[in-house]
A and B are shown apart, each in its own frame.
Chain A
Amino acid sequence: MQRHLQKIVVILMLMGLMGGILFPVLPALAATAGVQLFTEYSGIAVTPGQSINYSINIINNSNSIQHASLEITEQPEGWETSLTAGGWNISRLSVRPQSEESFTLQTEVPLQVEKGSYRFTIRATDTAGRVSTLPIAIEVTEQGTFRTELETDQPNMQGNADSSFNYRLTLRNRTADEQLYALSTDAPRGWNVDFEVSSQKVTSVKVEANTAQEINVTIAPPAEIEAGTYTIPVQAQAGSSSAEAELEVNITGTYRMELSTPTGRLSTDITAGKEKMVELQLNNTGSSELEDIKLSQSAPVDWEVKFEPQIIESLLPGESATVNARIKSSGKAISGDYLVNIQAQTPEVSDSADFRITVKTSALWGWIGVFIIAMVGAGIYYLFHKFGRQ
């Protein structure tokens, strides 16, 4: 009984051993049937216009060299495909025994393509006529286009009339051909719009199929423009396709002011201790109304400068106002030139004018000197008169 049991155990163990050895061999024997196609990425997602280099391995499991002929049996319509390896277009590939080779499926996603999933099937037929197929799914994630795009990240800019506005546009040629685009604008009169490509001013730009070109647009508004929002349309036009972008310019009003005199003369003379009236002129050279213009001064010590009026309530663009400044010099001022600085200020803008004021001393002492000499002369005349005729 015991011997019988032992026999069973031995047989089982043998069978186990046999199984351990035989079972790995069985699939290998099945694979020796021929070549197999393999890729890691059997399903990918792409966008229209993208080119795909799809690496595929062909595995030879047999013990003999396999000559596999390759072909694409299924592909979406309008997609151009080719199989390449080692820089060649290939249709047949030989693989050493127990080895593998790789080749590439090259294709380009057409620009005009519907969103969705597209299937490819590659078939390898070995020497013995056995077939291995590899299905590939390509997911197109976007609706494909066949057009030109003119885009910018920042279509709106703000600044005053003095500043210039720089927009960065991207011109995308999503057509199948190279295009020469003429760049133009419908800006109102007085606006200056420049197109620049690689720091060169241009009027047209050549863009290859399915590439993009950066275009810098510089917009300079007219000097005397009123505050507001302006839309500047820019176009890129090629024969078959065109694109337009709208650039928005938000002009804030400019605050500019000029302080001068009606004659433009910024010098005057004054007698020490006396008062002199200087007429000042304030010009609003900006594009916004100026309000509450205050006049102030920095003058030498003991000098007085008074303005009439002291505050100008409002000054419209292009208008000018007259202010009288009464400058009173110090009685102790020495003769010669002094500087009086007059400023006009609003919260937005200020301007100042330097006056060179020549102080003249009073001629009174001069006359007193003349008088003294005349007295002395009279004294001598008296002496002549008294003693002379003896």
Chain B
Amino acid sequence: MDLSFSPEEEAFRQEVRAWIAQNMPPHLKAKAEQAAHFEMPEVMEWHKLLYAKGWVAPHWPKEFGGPGFSATQRFILGEEMELAGTPPLSPFGLVMVAPLIMRFGSDAQRQRFLPKILSGEEVWCQGYSEPNAGSDLASLRTMAVDAGDHFVVTGQKTWTTYAQYADWIFCLVRTSTEGKKQQGISFLLIDMKTPGVEVKPMQTLGDTPAFCDTFFDNAKVPKENLLGPLNGGWNLAKALLGHERTLVAAVGQTRRNLRLAKRLAAHHLGANGKPLLEDPHFRSKLARLEMRLRAHQMTNYRALAEQQKGHHPGPESSILKLVGSMLVQEADELCMELMGQSSLAWHDDEAVEPFERWVPPTFCYDRATTIYAGSNEIQKNIIAKLILGMPGA
């Protein structure tokens, strides 16, 4: 039993911290200081800096251009970036589709797509959900009709986050209506410039243009863009789910939120003009959150120790998603409460300090954390079935 990082790992942490301090551009640092929302061009600017350093894809195998990091190094790199508030990299290419291309793709597909995902030359988005296929993803209806050397794709994908910036979209499409609905699904890689593909952004509750609808109207997609076997897309989707869940433990994000909460508590005054940080009621609220975060962090370390031994994240990673997303929201809620009536400000630079300005929009947008990457109710279904062995209906 050893809960500490090794001296080599601590040295790596210092190296990462120093590199971020020296290489994060001042305008990004300024936004990080304000806990502001990063727009996609800023995200890609940071992506390219990390690419030049060789750190953009810490989980990729060396043969595809990864740095060959251990599970712990990957964890430390991620944690330090979250703590520094660097722009969160777009996961759609690096974390989601790339591992599937490595595992299920042909050599030609690997060579065509992976280098440009790594360099950031091509940006990806995800085409999974549809207006009538959310948690019940397998009921998706976007059709890909076989037309000889290509498919003709027609339908609508939604929540295609940042599709307006994307060069490519990976999609689950229906290629058969026979048998079980999971069996007629294929995994297609589609060029966003294909005629018939149209993107409509929509505002989120946080006033950011993150969400989009993406429409396909008889879009021609070459057959070489089919990833994995025809009608075998559901297995790829399931393989991806595991990657996605481990993304969202969000320990660093919550620690940053907590730091912000303490800063707010020092800034706002309570009874008798004393800072809320000295108010026993608010102090104990902050303490409770920090104490619970500690238990979550240890759970994350346990998962990390398993990964170090070469075990892939199993259904247990659903716990990290469940708890991490709830703690993110609780930290947001506490920040709003600490701000009192200042929490009513909406991009109002006169009424609030710059570091407070993004608290209300973030509070609103983060309602998505318990929904995306498999809603928390779906995570609970997974745990009930796969870990607790609960009977089916």
The yes or no verdict on A and B being binding partners is no
B residues sitting closer than 8 Å to A (CB atoms) are none
